């Protein structure tokens, strides 16, 4: 790095020495040119009291200098002040100031300030401030601020602030702020804030906020907030919130909220929307007024839903609300709350073994698909016969609740008949696998086709049966071949 820096200085000074006759400058043609100037403190300088009428290639300010312009190199112990512009390489113990444009390399212990545009490489212990655009590479201990657009690479100990658009790479320990759009790559310890759109990659320790739309990749320790739409990949530990719509992939440890959601939403607590299309996955609740797609959660709710629900409770205003009572070959009597759509249902299971001489209980969940009998047996035509294909898992425990491994996984193929629209019976074979660490669990089954033991777990495989009855409103379903026209699942 030292060699690169030294080489950069050599190139800079070489380029400055190519011409000793630079006359009236491109920024102000009324300024007179001198190659060298030396100032103790204004007005004690080689340009006297008329220093503001001159520009120079080399400027040495023993304490500080006040001049018209700079086209080259300037060194000041305390400050360098140019009234019209500064172009080149400036070093000041405290501050570099110009009422016009500042461009080039500007190093200050405290502040670099420009009354017009600032561009190039600016490094200041406190801040870089521009009354107009700020662009290039700006490094400040506290703040980089611009009254107009900010672009390039900005690094600040506290904040990067723009009264217009901000784009490029901004890194701040507290926040990046723009009155209008933010785009590019922003990293902040607290927040990235835009009063208009936010797009690109934003990472913050607390939140990303947009007064309008938010798009791209946003990562926040707490949340992503948009007063318009959210689109893209949003990851937060707390929440993703959009006032209008959300689409893409939203992942949060807490809440995804939007009036309209589309895409994949994953949350640790809840997905909440007015309308959604796509996939909602939550460890607790998925809620919407209308939905279409796949919902996976402990509790799924919608006034109207079309698609596939997977959960312990999937309650839909336009869906099924049945109550099942059934008996299995393992000696368990089960009751189930059968909710979901008329095509795909979720069954919450509670059971008790009536054959054993001790108390054995079970709790579980099942996901089932209901079909017209003709979907499985083409030659049978009936609107009252149906087939349920069901996958379930139940946890069994003895006497009192226990988390000891004691599971039975089952696949059921059930054939049933409806009597009216409020009552049906069904039954069929069940294919079962038991995985347990409880020795007494072997007597849940009458026999086993195979009973291996591996790493302290006992396995049993057998074929059994299930028979049951179902209450409350049920519905005749068309053939699956016509499912495109049958979204009322």
- Scanning 261-418, the segments in alpha helix (DSSP H) are 373-376
| Residue-by-residue DSSP string for 149-162 | -EEEEEEESSEEEE
Task: Output the domain CATH number for residue 439.
Answer: 2.40.160.20
Task: Read off the pLDDT of residues 241-259 as tens digits, 9 standing for 90 and up.
Answer: 998 999 999 999 999 999 9
Same-domain status, 275 and 377 = no
Query: DSSP states of 218-282 as a string?
Result: EEESSEEEESS-EEEEEEESSEEEESSEEEEEEEESSEEEEEEEEEEEEESSEEEEEEEEEEEEE
pLDDT value for 29 = 57
Three-state SS at 16: helix
Interatomic CA distance for residues 149 and 310, integer angstroms: 49
Q: Which domain holds residue 203?
A: 2-252
Give residue for tokens 């759509």. Answer: 341
Closest listed residue to residue 286, CA positions, set 303, 269, 308: 269
pLDDT tens for residues 300-352?
999 999 999 999 899 999 999 999 999 998 889 999 999 999 999 999 999 99
pLDDT at 51: 82
Give yes or no: residues 354 and 398 share one domain: yes
* pLDDT for 8: 37
b (16+ CB within 10 A) / e for 442-455: eebbeeeeeeeeee
Burial 110-133 (b: 16+ CB within 10 A, else e): bbbbbbbbbbbbbbbbbbbbbbbb
Q: Are residues 127 and 263 in the same domain?
A: no
* Residue among 239, 282, 237, 232 nearest 258 (CA): 239
Where the chain has pLDDT below 70, the residues are 1-29, 482-489
Res 460: pLDDT: 96
Both tokens assigned to 239: 């929440």
- Give yes or no: residues 338 and 367 share one domain: yes
Residue after which a domain boundary falls, among 227, 252, 277: 252
* 270 neighbors 255 (Cβ within 8 angstroms): yes
Task: Check whether residue 157 and residue 51 sit in a common domain.
Answer: yes
* Co-location of 301 and 410 in the same domain: no
Last residue of a domain, one of 317, 351, 370: 317
User: What is the number of domains present in the chain?
Assistant: 3
Which residue is listed with tokens 């026999």? 447
Task: State both tokens at 155.
Answer: 């690094």
Other Cβ atoms less than 10 A from the Cβ of 274: the count is 16
* Burial tier of 87 (Cβ tally within 10 Å: 0-12, 13-18, 19+): buried
Residue 415 and residue 472 in one domain: yes
One domain for residues 330 and 460: yes
Which residue bears the tokens 């226990």?
Answer: 402
CB contact at 8 A, 461 and 450:
yes
Pick from 324, 312, 334, 302: which is nearest to 370 by CA? 324
d(C-alpha 160, C-alpha 63), whole Å: 30
Beta strands in 131-194 (DSSP E): 134-140, 143-146, 150-156, 159-162, 166-172, 175-178, 182-188, 191-194
Q: Please tell me whether residues 305 and 345 are part of one structural domain.
A: no
Instruction: Give the end of a domain, one of 252, 276, 296.
Output: 252
Same domain, 227 and 294: no
Handedness of CA 163, 168, 173, 176 (dihedral sign): positive
Q: 425 and 301: one domain?
A: no
Alpha helix locations (H) across 122-211?
none
Whether 367 and 478 map to the same domain: the answer is yes
Exposure string of 416-426, with b = 16+ CB inside 10 Å and e = fewer, is: bebeeeeebeb
DSSP per position, 83-129? SSEEEEEEEESSEEEESSEEEEEEEESSEEEESS-EEEEEEESSEEE
């Amino acid at each position: 790095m030292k060699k690169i820096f030294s080489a950069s200085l050599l190139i800079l000074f070489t380029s400055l020495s190519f011409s000793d006759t630079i006359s009236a400058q491109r920024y102000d043609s009324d300024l007179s040119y001198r190659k060298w100037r030396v100032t103790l403190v204004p007005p004690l300088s080689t340009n006297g009291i008329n220093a503001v009428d001159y520009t120079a290639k080399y400027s040495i300010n023993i304490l500080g200098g006040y001049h018209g312009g700079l086209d080259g190199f300037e060194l000041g112990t305390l400050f360098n002040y140019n009234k019209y512009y500064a172009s080149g390489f400036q070093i000041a113990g405290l501050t570099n100031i110009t009422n016009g444009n500042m461009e080039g390399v500007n190093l200050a212990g405290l502040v670099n300030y420009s009354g017009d545009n600032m561009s190039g490489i600016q490094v200041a212990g406190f801040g870089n401030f521009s009354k107009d655009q700020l662009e290039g590479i700006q490094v400040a201990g506290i703040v980089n601020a611009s009254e107009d657009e900010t672009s390039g690479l900005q690094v600040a100990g506290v904040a990067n602030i723009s009264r217009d658009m901000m784009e490029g790479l901004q890194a701040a320990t507290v926040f990046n702020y723009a009155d209008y759009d933010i785009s590019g790559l922003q990293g902040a310890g607290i927040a990235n804030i835009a009063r208009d759109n936010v797009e690109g990659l934003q990472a913050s320790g607390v939140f990303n906020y947009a007064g309008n739309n938010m798009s791209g990749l946003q990562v926040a320790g707490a949340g992503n907030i948009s007063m318009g739409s959210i689109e893209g990949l949003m990851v937060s530990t707390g929440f993703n919130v959009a006032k209008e719509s959300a689409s893409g992939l939203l992942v949060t440890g807490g809440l995804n909220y939007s009036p309209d959601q589309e895409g994949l939403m994953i949350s640790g607590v809840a997905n909440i929307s007015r309308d959604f299309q796509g996939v909602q996955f939550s460890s607790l609740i998925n809620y919407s007024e209308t939905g279409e797609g796949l919902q996976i959660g402990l509790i799924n709710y919608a006034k109207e839903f079309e698609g596939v629900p997977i959960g312990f409770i999937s309650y839909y205003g336009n869906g099924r609300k049945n109550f099942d009572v059934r008996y299995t070959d393992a000696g368990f009597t089960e009751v189930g709350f059968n909710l979901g759509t008329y095509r795909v249902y979720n069954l919450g299971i509670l059971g008790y073994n009536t054959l054993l001489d001790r108390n054995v209980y079970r709790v579980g969940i099942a996901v089932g698909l209901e079909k017209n009998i003709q979907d499985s047996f083409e030659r049978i035509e009936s609107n009252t016969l149906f087939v349920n294909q069901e996958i379930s898992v139940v946890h069994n425990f003895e006497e009192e609740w226990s988390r000891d491994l004691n599971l039975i996984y089952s696949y059921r193929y059930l054939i049933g008949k409806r009597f009216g629209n409020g009552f049906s019976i069904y039954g069929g074979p069940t294919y079962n696998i038991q995985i347990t660490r409880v020795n007494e669990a072997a007597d849940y089954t009458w026999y086993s086709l195979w009973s291996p033991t591996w790493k302290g777990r006992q396995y049993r495989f057998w074929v059994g049966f299930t028979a049951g009855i179902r209450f409350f409103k049920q519905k005749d379903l068309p053939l699956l071949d016509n499912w495109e026209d049958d979204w009322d699942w």
